[in-house]
Amino acid sequence: MAERYNVCLVQPESYLHSGAFLELAELLHYALIDLGFSSRLSVNRLDAFGRNIVIGAHLFSAQAIARLPQSTIILNTEQLGSREHPWTDVMLNLARRFVMWDYSAANIAFFEGERVAGVRLLKLGFQRQLARLKPVSDPDIDVLFYGSIGERRQSVIDALLARGVTVRVLFGTYGRQRDQEIERAKLVLNCHHYDRHIFEVVRVFYLLCNRIPVVAEIGPNTEVEPEFRSAVAATAYEELADQCLRLLNDEAARAAVAERGYAVINQRPQSELIRSLVVT
């Protein structure tokens, strides 16, 4: 059993969007410490003497990938299922060479369909160090959305704006600056971007840890762990704007969503979810 870990976040020069995975890196780092391991967080730096867990490996250059120690663990953060996405072939090749973790059972099924076996499911849960947001007493943002904007997401945002809702949209804003916007919002909207329709637990778990009410698209084709259906205001795509309006007009209902989400995630300590992956 390796007793020293390095959770490495890959961030190419001038590429801001690796910041989307900062809380995920922190989640693993603190959970490993809770299990009694030595762990450090790093950006683009590998540890020659410990075991590296690499987040965002598809952003590494081919030369950097060639230098990865054989003991490296790769954590896939992307939605797979289409060979059109440039990261798909990269992740398939990495999964053939290294231990691969993935947050989605649907992604693992895709790997298996491509004859890549052994990818392990990493479930996401609660970590006390990440329960750190302090929502303001008088929020001035009705609905916050952060992430890439495509046609289907823009359509929901336009529907909210047409009804007079104060919507704040962020792209390329991460860390404390984004957290301050979350603290000013009455609720956060989560909506699928890709046709794969995998629940975006990588972004939502942090909100649940902080009792933030989330209106999330969960339709008949969404791949999602059952307990997360009750952790958010689970809503079909066509009803997202209506659901946001209902909760904006009902403070008690918003609070109930927030508390329910926290209760669900709090029953999932991350150290227990990762234990079987690192303790042998």
- The pLDDT tens digits for 216-255 are 999 999 999 999 999 999 999 999 999 999 999 999 999 9
Mean pLDDT of 94-117: 95
Residue 141, SS3 per DSSP:
strand
What is the distance in angstroms between the CA of the first residue and the CA of the last residue of the chain? Answer: 7
What average pLDDT does the chain have? 95
**Which secondary structure element, helix H or strand E, spans residue 75, and what is its range?**
strand 73-76
For the stretch 8-66, pLDDT in tens is: 999 999 899 999 999 999 999 999 999 999 999 999 999 999 999 999 998 988 888 99
pLDDT at 81: 76
Q: What is the pTM of this model?
A: 0.95
Distances (CA, A) of 99 to 25, 74, 102, 117, 212: 17, 6, 10, 10, 34
Q: 50 and 6 in contact (C-beta within 8 Å)?
A: yes
Q: Is the pLDDT of residue 82 over 70?
A: no
- Per-domain residue ranges of the chain: 4-122, 129-266
Q: How many CA atoms lie within 13 A of 258 on its CB side?
A: 18
CATH 3.40.50.1370 assigned to 129-266: no
Q: Is 186 helix (H, G, I), strand (E, B) or coil?
A: strand
C-alpha 2/C-alpha 53 separation (Å) is 12
Cβ atoms of residues 74 and 95 within 8 Å = yes
Higher pLDDT, 148 or 87: 148
User: Has residue 1 got a pLDDT over 50?
Assistant: no
CA–CA dist 179, 132 (Å, integer): 9
Element (H, E) at 87: helix 86-97
CATH code of the region 4-122 = 3.40.50
One fold for both 4-122 and 129-266? yes
Amino acid at 4: R
